[in-house]
Structure 1
């Protein structure tokens, strides 16, 4: 059964990537709405993301941090809502309130905080509408507009590099 689910997810990812567009098109980036997808198994503390978002003066209703956990035994960790493998149906759709919220809105910036390509993370990332996508090395470049070469366990370096890049685009 897992094979059929993987096939459905892969199809959905390909469909999402075909529909995906970069919305900057030479315009300046104004960071007002941020989405973050985090692999909780790779990063246990996301304080550096919260600090990054607060540095832009973004209110809590204008950002979403969503974590992924393979087993999905928890609903949230340290205030970060989670989705898991079991939240994806056999059609490749995610049935999770927080993932739906992430998919509904368009973001100025999407931060993909994962370096291991897991189908659920790629599915979610490919379906989010964002003007700019920043991620880490180890993930296929089609999922990110900008790839930062920083170790994932060093969130401070990742955020410093992201700020430098955003400053040049602002």
Structure 2
């Protein structure tokens, strides 16, 4: 139990260092790829994100979703990647190859769709090489470039707000 506390503290220290060095750069390139990080205990409907990708004119093969499960056992599901805290080591090192591949992918937009204050979710958001990060209101505003304040249950509102702001930023065309 003590080691778990030290591990979490090392991850927090690494996360704070990364977030303090983060540079925000927004251009007007169009959204062609979409990455999504979510907590499987909060949201478990994959079709919501497929409809979002279609709404943003993102091809299905350019949509990648990873789900975090706070419990130790992985739930049977059809997520592309499901991970838990065992996949993250000391100082934020990633032990899961699939998870590392997701983080190394340069998405045009990354959506952090979770409200829980899990250090692992925050770390993944920070480690992602996405060019533009969107999230629901969280305790640390340094994680995302655009924060949309909605409840998890209000996905339609979230979807419309994303489209509205991405249109304003000239990242999607209003077709």
Fold conserved between structures, TM > 0.5: yes
Is 1:8 aligned with 2:10?
yes
1:36 aligns with 2:36: yes
Contact 1:22/1:130 (8 A) holds in 2: no
C-alpha separation between the residues in 2 aligned to 1:53 and 1:121? 21
Distance, in Å, in 1 between the alignment partners of 2:58 and 2:72 is: 29
What TM-score comes out, normalization by structure 1 length?
0.89
For structure 2, list consecutive stretches of 5 or more residues without a partner in the other structure. Answer: 171-175
Partner of 2:46: 46
TM-score, with length taken from structure 2: 0.87
Q: How many residues align?
A: 168
Structure 1: segments with no counterpart, 5+ residues: none
Contact 2:37 2:65 in 1 (8 A): yes
The separation in 2 between residues aligned to 1:91 and 1:131, in whole angstroms, is 23
1:149 aligns with 2:114: no
Which secondary structure does the structure 2 equivalent of 1:77 belong to?
coil
Larger strand fraction of residues: 1
Cα distance in 1 for partners of 2:160, 2:80 equals 22
Superimposed CA distance per residue, residues 71-111 of structure 1 (whole angstroms, 9 cap, x where no aligned partner): 14126623342110111112321212332122112121110
Structure 1 moving runs of 4+ over 6 Å: none
Counterpart of 1:123 in structure 2 is 123
Superposition RMSD on alpha carbons, in Å? 1.8
Partner SS for 1:9: helix
The 10-residue stretch of structure 1 (115-124 or 8-17) with the greater mean CA deviation from structure 2: 8-17
Equivalent residue for 1:21?
Answer: 23
Query: Counterpart in 1 of 2:104?
Result: 104
Aligned-partner Cα distance in 1 for 2:75–2:98: 10
Mapped to 1, the partners of 2:95 and 2:160 lie a distance apart of: 34
For residue 20 of structure 1, report the CA deviation from its aligned partner: 2.6
